[in-house]
Structure 1
Amino acid sequence: MTDALGRVRAAFAEAGVTGWLHAVDIDTGAQLDAGADQPVCTASVHKLCLLVTLHELADTGDLDLTEQVDCPPLGRTPGPTGLAAMRDPVRMSLRDLAYLMTAVSDNTAADLLLGRVGLDAVNRTTARLGLTRTHAVHTFGELLATLRQDAGPGGARILTDPHVLTRLRALDPARTNRSTPRDMTRLLSAVWRDEACAPEHAAAVRRLLGLQVWPHRLASGFPFDDVHVAGKTGTLPTLRNEVGVVEYPDGGRYAVAVFTRTANPAATLPAADSVIGTTARLAVEALRART
């Protein structure tokens, strides 16, 4: 494992990022720790916590996943995908909102679900599952609002200024939605072992994570037709994250959480995206070599 840790750290350095990783064999408990207990900003990775909460409440009968929700054009949470990018009134079910939230990281869909579920319920779920360092502070609209407030009158165009970045609450785990890599792999392992919620609902969570459309981070490290990757990304200025599960045809399944930060504020940094897949593969290969 020492060699694997060295390769992971070298890959982070070569990509120009500071990175934290935890990988665990879901069935044996073997793990690789490269800063697993570092507090990190979750960004849209926290939608996984909301997704599990939604299905937990459906299981207990506190909500019906087929319940319809209206989404008028005005007042939507900003974002480049899904409902956030649409212009006309929409009506859809809670479970279809969950699909958009997970597959394309739709912020409007996430906040509509939070309006039905509530942040307190999300925090109760993570606490119940023993995720002691995971906490939701903001809705996604509120999170984006802190960016605007902290950036000041210069607006989004000055979010590339290093001095401005230092004052953003959204980039400070003490003041925003947060977790650790270890907490996230614990959550994923609970979902894959049918422990986070009833088997029917855990299967629904796994299905949605498997429908995520982004191939440029975690999935890029596993370009094989017979290896299945299910995950959830998260992105903020200088931050690129993904957590997920990698499943091999021999039955091996591995929960991986990778969180990165770079000093370069550019929105497009292919090396910073792909290193998430590179380090995840290094970690999973090390775990597989042990067995």
Structure 2
Amino acid sequence: MTDTSTAIGTAFADAGVTGWLHALDIDTGAELDWQGNQSVCTASVHKLPLLVALHERAAAGDLDLTEQVECPPTGRTAGPTGLAAMLDGARLSLRDLAYLMMAVSDNAAADLLLTRVGLDAVNRTTLRIGLTRTQAVHSFGAAMAMIKEDAGPDGVRALADPHVIARLRALDPARANHSTPRDLTRLLAAIWRDTAGTPEHCAAMRRLMALQVWPHRLASGFPFDDVHVAGKTGSLPTLRGEVGTVEYPDGGRYALAVFTRSVRSSAILPAADAVIGTAARIAVDTLRANRKAS
């Protein structure tokens, strides 16, 4: 384990980031921790607890996933993908909004779902699963509004200034949606073990996570046709993260949560993205080796 910790620490250092990681063998319970109890801002990763809460309410009969939702062209939560970037009105089912939320991290779709599900319901769901250090504090639109307000009149350009980054409330776990890597691997394990909801609903959630389009973080560490990766990314200025599962053809299943903070404020830092996959691969290789040795 010492060699593994050294390798993970070196990978984070070489990428110029501070990192937090928790890895869990879903079937044996074996785990690997690198500051995994650290509270982190979840950013769009918190769309995963929202997804679980949506399916919990559907299983209880409180809503129908085929229910149609009007998405007017004005008043949408901002974002670069999905409905958030579209110009015209649309009408979609709750389950198709969930697809956009998970596959392309659509902020507008997420907030339409959050309006229907409720922030309190998301927190009740995470507490039910035992995630005692996970809390949804605000909507995704509110997070964007906080960043805009804290950045000041210079807008996005101000986010290149480390002093501005330091005052962003969205990067403070005490004031933003937050969790820990350990809590998030517990959530993933519950989805993959069919204990986060009914088997039918857990299968639906796994399907959506497998449809995520971003290959540059967690999936980059597992470039194999026979290894299945499903995940959900999250990003804020200097913050990058992804939670997800990796499934091997021999049946091994591993839950991973990796977050990084970079010193540089550049929006594009390939090394900071790729180290999420690198660190995850180191952790999974260790868990697999230990499983074979036991």
Name the TM-score class by shorter chain.
Answer: over 0.9
C-alpha distance in 2, partners of 1:68/1:184?
30
Q: Which residue in the other structure is 1:160 paired with?
A: 160
Aligned positions of 1:1-291 closer than 5 A: 1-291=1-291
Tell me the amino acid that sits aligned with residue 59 of structure 2: D
- Quick one: percent identity of the two aligned structures? 74
SS at match of 2:289: helix
Tell me the amino acid that sits aligned with residue 52 of structure 2: V
Shift of the alpha carbon at 1:184? 0.2
Shift of the alpha carbon at 1:4? 0.8
Once the two structures are superposed, what CA deviation does each residue of 1:56-92 show, in whole Å capped at 9, x if it has no partner? Answer: 1100101000000000110111111000111111001
Query: Which residues of structure 1 form unaligned runs of 5+?
Result: none
Q: Normalising by the residue count of structure 2, what TM-score does the alignment of the two structures yield?
A: 0.98
State the number of aligned residues: 291
C-alpha distance in 1, partners of 2:16/2:208?
31
Shift of the alpha carbon at 1:154? 1.8
Shift of the alpha carbon at 1:157? 1.0
Tell me the amino acid that sits aligned with residue 4 of structure 1: T
Once the two structures are superposed, what CA deviation does each residue of 1:118-150 show, in whole Å capped at 9, x if it has no partner? Answer: 110000000111100000111000010000111
Q: CA RMSD in A?
A: 0.5
SS at match of 1:153: coil
Tell me the amino acid that sits aligned with residue 275 of structure 2: V
C-alpha distance in 2, partners of 1:128/1:169?
28
Shift of the alpha carbon at 1:270? 0.3
SS at match of 1:274: helix
C-alpha distance in 1, partners of 2:86/2:235?
21
Shift of the alpha carbon at 1:155? 1.4
Once the two structures are superposed, what CA deviation does each residue of 1:177-223 show, in whole Å capped at 9, x if it has no partner? Answer: 00000000000000000000000000000000000000000000000
Q: Normalising by the residue count of structure 1, what TM-score does the alignment of the two structures yield?
A: 0.99
Deviating runs (4+, > 2 A) in structure 1?
none
Query: Which residues of structure 2 form unaligned runs of 5+?
Result: none
